Amino acid sequence: MITDAVRTVPAIPLCMALAAFVPDTWSAEMLFFFISCILGLIGWPALARRVRTHLLTERSQEYMLAA
């Protein structure tokens, strides 16, 4: 449910709003770290859904049921 809630937030307007609030005094390294963190927060639900789907399909395989 949390991943679905995060996925409902549109990424482009969120990035535009965050870019408007970034101070001009930040160094390039700090800006890169900030952007990386934001992209990570936006992108983790897709990876989480892929991992969950993969685990659910592996759980129902015959070799898992035999073990």
Of residues 1 and 50, the one with the higher pLDDT is 50
CA distance linking residue 65 with residue 67, whole number of Å: 5
Render pLDDT for 33-46 as a digit per residue (tens, 0 to 9): 988 888 888 888 88
Render pLDDT for 51-66 as a digit per residue (tens, 0 to 9): 989 988 888 888 877 7
According to DSSP, residue 8 is labeled T
> Residue 65's pLDDT is what?
74
> Residue 62's pLDDT is what?
83
Render pLDDT for 16-29 as a digit per residue (tens, 0 to 9): 888 788 888 889 89
The structure tokens 């927060």 sit at 41
